[in-house]
A and B are shown apart, each in its own frame.
Chain A
Amino acid sequence: KRARRPKPCSLREMEVTVSELGLGYESDETLLFRYCSGKCTGHRRNYDITMDHMRRTGFRKKGRKDKVSNGPCCRPIAYEEDISFLDNRSRYHTIQDVSAQACGCV
């Protein structure tokens, strides 16, 4: 089996109905849901390398049990504008910050 090169952090999209968003709205209207996914290995800073090392050594020595994330994370850095839709009871709703517009390793 050939090793796959990890895909970098990027914007992906899929078609979902509003109901499937899990926000409690019931509507069969279909939207394009955009999200962020991919590896952020190329974006590690000294902070991440140090943190990784500290978690394994320094923290234990000093008795710390803090949770820290292991490296930069692929997250939306901008969201799409408001999305409006008509629900199954013929009422309009407008929702914000549902779909990603740009991704970054933060």
Chain B
Amino acid sequence: MILINIISLMFLLDVCVCVSELGPPGWREPLDCVRASELCNQNSQCSSRYRIMRQCLSGGDKERSTMLASKECQGALEVLQDSPLYDCRCKRGMKKELQCLQNYWSIHMGLTEGEEFYETSPYEPIHFSEEFRHASIISDSSLSKVTPCSEGGKSCNPCLDAAKACNLNDTCKRQRSAYIAICTKATPPQSSLANQEPCSRKRCQKALRQFFERVSWELSYPLLFCSCHDQACAERRRQTIVPACSHQERHKPTCIELRRTCRSDALCRSRLADFHMNCQVTSHTVTSCPHDNYHGCLMAYVGLIGSDVTPNYSDSSPSNITISLWCTCRGTGNQEHECDAFHRDFTHNTCLKNAIQAFGYGSEGGPLTVTEPQATFFPPAQPPIISKPAPSLHGNAIKPMDSACVFSTCANLQDGGQKCIPSEDFECEEALLAQGSINSQDTDGVKSSAQKSAPPFHHICATVSVSILAKLLL
């Protein structure tokens, strides 16, 4: 019953998303680069220049820049700048993502061969409909089973709660077990190699990427961005991505080397550009994030996990979060400045830090280092597509890890907000727990009883959300 509701809700939301994509005049979804190259290939002039361009980029680093400087390559670029390939974009996790990214860079690498420090992200901006969909599902997700602990709770460990929520979901459990098993599996001993790696790094990183692609963010993000009050919790958080295999290496490269390695790979290069675009510290916003979009930054950060530049928490300090890459700037000589600048975007990134803390701690509860207004968890990345104001969806209602009440947009709506005044959230939490226990305590014939005793709560939730949608769309 609950499941059916969730599915139908998602279906309805999907429909809405499609409608809104068609709706607004003057805003066009960027063409994806796979489609763009198909279009280009249908045009004889475009396709011949495109072929030339790919040859220009085929050589190694040095070869490439001389090639690109040649008349032919420059001529080809000029023509291609007017083609649909020029402003095409890719979707995260789309079919043929790698092909799309390769198509993107086949033009843009030529345009930015001057080794620009920050590159334009080949990914579509995270726009409103997407976030809206995310935010709405929070109210129904199994996250509501996770009870964020109040200060001073005797065994408060949100990271453990996140693991529980994941284990209780079949997909999440399977995908998590898969990457853990791969990342902790020792490579078969080879006596000839003295310094063998403890695990298969490549396979581990692939499994991690798969985990974050296939598991919904409501279950995966809390594992990675849980808030901690003690070291045991923070150590668990640090261990989430099995850093011994995915993050650390026997050899610690310079950050310059690391960046170069990443840029030679289309996927890593794209994810890095996306990170720079979405997590770049800016002084123009309150949160230090571009467009005050925390979610965009977290998404871009997660996108890096499983790439050559896999970031992680540098220690198990519960409150003082430091993110770093496995690289050093020692001994980089005259490149030290550039090296530092690159690494500092991870180690000293207020936007990223604020985004992580806002996710884990909510706006109350935790130690927020930088002042941060309440209603900015899911601000639109672009001017919202839906033009009518939607106060209830922008305000306090959508803050996932804030308190038990806030998990459920519906709790507010159902009770006219009575139970969800922050000071009374315990009451609300209890109500939630009571609903949950109907399911979990009955051990006899779980499947059938769960159907019989589906709490009316969720039902109301789904219908209310849908009716809001209907209003928004009118």
Contact = CB atoms under 8 A, between A and B. Distances in A.
Decide if A and B are genuine partners. yes
A12 B236 contact: no
Interface stretch (A48-56, A59-67, A86-94): A86-94
A56 to B, nearest CB: 33
B366 to A, nearest CB: 22
Contacts of A97: none
- Most chain B CB inside 10 Å of its own CB: which residue of A30, A81, A82, A84: A84
Interface residues of B, number: 26
Contact of B168 (A7, A11, A15): A15
B3 to A, nearest CB: 15
Contacts of B239: 86, 90, 92
A30 B146 CA distance: 12
Interface string B197-236: 0000000000000000000000000000000000010011
Given A30-B167, A32-B168, A86 B446 contact: no
A23 interface: no
Contacts of B164: 15, 29-30
By DSSP majority rule, is chain A's interface helix, strand, loop, or mixed? strand
A13 interface: yes
B446 A83 contact: no
A10 interface: yes
Given A30-B164, A92-B183, 19 more contacts: A10-B445, A11-B447, A12-B444, A12-B445, A13-B443, A14-B440, A28-B160, A29-B167, A30-B167, A30-B168, A32-B168, A32-B173, A82-B181, A83-B167, A84-B176, A90-B236, A92-B180, A92-B239, A94-B181
B163 interface: yes
A94 B184 contact: yes
A15 B437 CA distance: 11
Contacts of B174: 81
22 contacts: A11-B446, A11-B447, A12-B445, A13-B443, A13-B446, A14-B440, A28-B157, A29-B160, A29-B164, A30-B160, A30-B164, A32-B167, A32-B173, A81-B177, A83-B177, A84-B181, A86-B236, A90-B239, A92-B184, A92-B242, A94-B177, A94-B180
A93 to B, nearest CB: 8
A40 interface: no
B173 A83 contact: yes
A30 B163 contact: yes
A29 to B, nearest CB: 5
Contacts of A31: 167, 173
Interface of B: 155, 157, 160, 163-164, 167-168, 173-174, 176-177, 180-181, 183-184, 232, 235-236, 239, 242, 440, 443-447
Contact of A84 (B180, B440, B447): B180
Contacts of A32: 167-168, 173
Interface in A27-75: 28-32
A79 interface: no
A32 B168 CA distance: 6
Interface residues of A, number: 22
Nearest to B163: A29
A82 B177 contact: yes
Contacts of B181: 82, 84, 94
Contacts of B443: 12-14
A37 to B, nearest CB: 9
Interface of A: 7, 10-15, 28-32, 81-86, 88, 90, 92, 94
B184 A7 contact: no
Given A14-B443, A15-B168, A15-B440, A85 B184 contact: no
A55 B341 CA distance: 83
Contact of B444 (A7, A82, A90): A7
A59 to B, nearest CB: 36
A92 B173 CA distance: 14
Contacts of A11: 446-447
Contacts of B168: 15, 30, 32
Contacts of B232: 88
B148 to A, nearest CB: 16
Given A83-B173, A86-B239, A92-B242, A7 B445 contact: yes
B163 A86 contact: yes
A81 to B, nearest CB: 6
Given A7-B444, A94-B181, A85 B163 contact: yes
Closest 6 CB pairs of A and B: A84-B180, A30-B164, A84-B177, A92-B184, A94-B181, A29-B163
A100 to B, nearest CB: 12
Contacts of A14: 440, 443
Contacts of A15: 164, 168, 440
A99 to B, nearest CB: 10
A44 B447 CA distance: 26
Nearest to B235: A90
A85 B472 CA distance: 43
Nearest to B177: A84
A104 to B, nearest CB: 17
Contacts of A92: 180, 183-184, 239, 242
Contacts of B163: 29-30, 85-86
Contacts of B446: 11-13
